A and B are shown apart, each in its own frame.
Chain A
Amino acid sequence: MRDDVAELLATLPSDADEADRAGPAGAVLETVSMRPVPTGRGRRLWALGSLQARVAAAYALCRARELFAAPEERERLRSEMHLANALRLLDGMGYLRGALVKIGQTLAAYPRIAPDAWVEVLGALHAEAPPMHFSLLREQLRRDLGAEPEQAFGSVETRAFAAASLGQVHRARLRTGEPVAVKVQYPGIARALRADFANARALFRVMPILRERETLAATLENVTTTLLDETDYRREADTADEVRRLLSGLDDVVVPRVHRGHSGDRTLTLDLLEGDHLAAFLAKDPPQEERDRRGAQLLRVAARLYYSGRLLLADPNPGNFLFLPDGRLGVLDFGCYRRFDDADWEAVLLVVRSFRSGWSDFDGVMRTCALLTDEELRDAERMRFHRELCDWTVEPIREDRPFDFGDPDFLDRGFRFIREGAERRWLRQRPVFLWQSRSFYGLRATLFRLRARVNEKRIDDEETARAGV
């Protein structure tokens, strides 16, 4: 080893020292939760820069040590390094909490895209904008709508009734008496998120030993775009209008109207819908027919948006739906949708055509959608995996009969594919398909909880025919 390198390494802290200093994840969480949030960009950059330097230094040290280590020792070193860096990252993200934690949360949803230790620690984070008291909310409304809340609205409830992405939602009434939900964003958080993502890109560039670095980078870009979209309330208002238009033909589905005159950059006012979220709905132990009908509504909504609107419900978590007492399904939250561009839509059509003709040109599908190389296409084991995964995906639309989404074996098999694919690092795909997978698994997990039996083939056939797919 060159003397200057040895000298440099000697100045770096050892793993053990660092791990001791970082402490267990819980202790770190406790520490960072008490730390003030730096608000100036300079301070944020400084904080992240120092974090980046520490992570980079740690990886450099790990690499240097690997040169002299036996193979099994190398694996251990890497694993320890991942954990230590997860803690460092958590520490840094906690300091910059407010927005950067979003990345952690999102990466945690993709097992093994980031190293396991990272996912475990990052999964413990909860991204929440700080709660706003009414005076801060009032100021945000005043700045955004150009009027006192009492002038803009008939009344606004002083306590929030729901948390929203990077803000909170209050019940209110328009001056006409109409009940509305007003979503208000925490001040400065959209810009903070943008700055953090820019900084995070730099952070991820210093991870030389990650084997899936390129996928991670592409994922980060995709995550960045989608989550930044979530902070853009005007865009969300446009999406809400589009979803409302696309679903207007479905009598048993309701999409709240946007009140443009009461919305702005940081405020979004929608019709107020009252009903049960999934947990409350299930707590009433609804009969099977009701569960089936609700399941069909969910699948119909997703299929209509997908085929007729090329719009992907990228975050189909149960909180985004409301079961209204009159039997209608309410669709809420329009911040996390992905739109297919022409190239991505062509990839979708390729899959549809291949499926309809008994998976013809499966290699072509895999090349386009899973980004497989010629060498990977020749890997029989890998191709078996992809084929079985695709078969599982289309299982509910193979036969013209109700499919039991409550069958635990069906869902388990799906998650087994995810686990196997993750372990063998076979889950690479076009970025938009990452969101599709999230959408897909999220929807099926909800249908499982509903224990719904739905003829999805009929819905799929009707919706593809309607859209001319």
Chain B
Amino acid sequence: MRVTEATKERTRRRILRTAARLFRRRGYEGATTRQVARSAGVGAGTLFNYYPSKEALALALVARGLTRGRRRFREERRPGASLAEDLFVLALTALRELEPWRGLVAGTAATALGPAARGAGEAEGERRRHLEEVGAILAARGVADASEAAALHLWWALFLGVLAFWSEDPSPAQEDTLALLDRATRMFAAGLEGGGEEADRA
């Protein structure tokens, strides 16, 4: 029987939804791929066709969070915002969407999303789309034209650093991450524009 693309996509989503539910309920360590497959109503082999490991499932969830975060960013960004503020909102909306998977980020996403981990399917695609968004933000301000590749590389490293810090931030409501993100985006913007902090001084 020929499986249509639409069916494949539905199966993929069902597996991911199930994994999300089980990870939330039992924790990443407590849930197994076998349980995910059973709860999703597919065989273990089928699951591995879509996601070759538990890490790949976690990464897919993180990638989905990042996608949603970008959507939220477009809704929430303020017209006339400074570069630092736009980057802040881009990262913040990602963190908000990743909140259910905070524990997964340090172990899996940071390494799989890292600059050294090229070609890792969804992760690589997500990295590219995120950086396209950042590129558009920079281009809209006419900054970083010649040095855009370096700037994007730097931003990605910075963003992953914030993610890693956030994933283990013990402060109430991760308020230290908020401060770190604020300072990091200001520094980054100031580096590209010069005096980014002044732009926001009320």
Contact = CB atoms under 8 A, between A and B. Distances in A.
Interface of A: 36-37, 39-40, 130-136, 139-140, 143, 158-161, 168, 186-189, 191
A39 B82 contact: no
Given A39-B179, A187-B179, 6 more contacts: A131-B201, A132-B200, A143-B173, A143-B175, A159-B202, A191-B176
A39 B183 contact: yes
23 contacts: A36-B187, A37-B183, A39-B183, A130-B182, A131-B200, A131-B201, A132-B182, A133-B84, A133-B88, A134-B78, A134-B85, A135-B76, A135-B88, A135-B89, A140-B178, A160-B202, A168-B202, A186-B179, A187-B175, A187-B182, A188-B176, A188-B179, A189-B179
B49 interface: no
B174 to A, nearest CB: 9
B147 interface: no
B130 interface: no
A133 B78 CA distance: 11
A264 to B, nearest CB: 11
Interface string B33-59: 000000000000000000000000000
B76 to A, nearest CB: 8
Contacts of A130: 182-183, 186, 197
B81 interface: yes
B171 A188 contact: yes
A456 B178 CA distance: 50
Contacts of B88: 133, 135-136
Interface of B: 76, 78, 81-82, 84-85, 88-89, 92, 165, 171-173, 175-176, 178-180, 182-183, 186-187, 197, 200-202
Contact of B92 (A39, A135, A189): A135
B183 A139 contact: no
Nearest to B96: A139
A36 B85 contact: no
Nearest to A168: B202
A36 B183 contact: yes
A40 B183 contact: no
Nearest to A186: B179
Contacts of A132: 182, 200
Contacts of B89: 135
A134 B79 CA distance: 11
A188 B174 CA distance: 9
B166 to A, nearest CB: 11
A159 B199 CA distance: 12
Nearest to A129: B179
A140 B177 CA distance: 12
A32 to B, nearest CB: 14
A231 to B, nearest CB: 13
A143 B172 CA distance: 11
A178 B88 CA distance: 31
B178 A188 contact: yes
B184 to A, nearest CB: 8
Contacts of A139: 92, 178
For B82, B84, B165, B202, which residue has the most chain A Cβ atoms within 10 angstroms? B202
A133 B179 contact: no
A143 B178 CA distance: 11
Nearest to B89: A135
